Homo-oligomer: A and B are copies of this chain.
Amino acid sequence: MIRNFKLIIEYDGCAYHGWQRQKTDRSIQGEIEKAASKMTNQPITITASGRTDAGVHAFGQTANFKCDTKITPEGFRSGLNCLLDDDIVICACDEVDDDFHARFNVKSKIYRYNILNRQLPEAINRQYQWHVRKKLDLESMRAAIKHIIGPHDFKAFENTGSPRPHTTRTIFNASLIEHKHGKIIFEIEADGFLRFMVRNITGTLVDVGLGKITPKRFNEILLSLDRDQASATAPPQGLFLVEVKY
């Protein structure tokens, strides 16, 4: 009998060419499929909630795969963790209804972007954040963030190389929280994200924080639907896929 398994996956993206299976480069999907195929002696295809790009991390990427097997969910969880390198961890495996689809059934996704905002960089955790040396004006950034809440066409923040037919997404929540020692966390929840969308929003928000762009101008960029008006893409290592809701 074909069974459907749901995985919750944490990974450190540093060593991978993103989620998606590649011909030669190592990818998260490729590594998990290889391990699951080895466990089941059959080719396994894993579907994630969406791709993450090269160098991006996840606490709660969610995926599913179908398979005719007697292996239990707990058997998959511990077996995959044994086979995978320690920068990919299967946090949970559950058997789910046949119609569960990790991408089509997504209600919302939460991403987090870590910024270190101080003069001095960090050696420890440098691979999990973007170091921005100049002092950011968080109030201006928060004023800009208000403009993206709700449904909007986010074409201005989409990577030009991979256009989607529909570029309207709904942002449910977005917040900027300041922690000790210059650590700033930008968190954003939406029904979906275009390619590079969080990193393009973050890059443009940081330019607001640096005073290069006003919050009003940030809104004009959003409304322009023109990628060329937005700022450079923030680097991948600060970005985490935190949670996928169904």
Shortest A102–chain B CB gap in Å is 19
CA distance A126 to B128 in the complex (A): 12
Q: CB-defined interface of A74-87 with B at 8 Å, one 1/0 digit per residue?
A: 00000001000011
A59: chain B residues within 8 A (beta carbon):
124
Pair B57/A121 contact, Cβ less than 8 Å:
no
The reply to whether the CB of A123 lies closer than 8 angstroms to some CB of chain B is yes
CB < 8 Å: which of B81, B86, B120, B126 contacts A126? B86
CA distance A86 to B126 in the complex (A): 8
Pair A89/B120 contact, Cβ less than 8 Å:
yes
CB < 8 Å: which of B10, B123, B125 contacts A123? B10
Query: Closest residue to A78 on the B side, CB-wise?
Result: B119
A91: chain B residues within 8 A (beta carbon):
120
Pair B86/A12 contact, Cβ less than 8 Å:
no
The reply to whether the CB of A25 lies closer than 8 angstroms to some CB of chain B is no
The reply to whether the CB of A137 lies closer than 8 angstroms to some CB of chain B is no
Pair B121/A81 contact, Cβ less than 8 Å:
yes
Shortest A112–chain B CB gap in Å is 11
A124: chain B residues within 8 A (beta carbon):
10, 12, 57, 59, 128, 240
A residues within 8 Å of B by Cβ? 10-12, 57, 59, 81, 86-89, 91, 120-126, 128, 240
A–B complex contacts, Cβ < 8 Å, 14 sampled: A11-B123, A12-B123, A12-B124, A57-B124, A81-B121, A86-B121, A87-B123, A87-B126, A89-B120, A89-B121, A89-B122, A89-B123, A91-B120, A124-B240
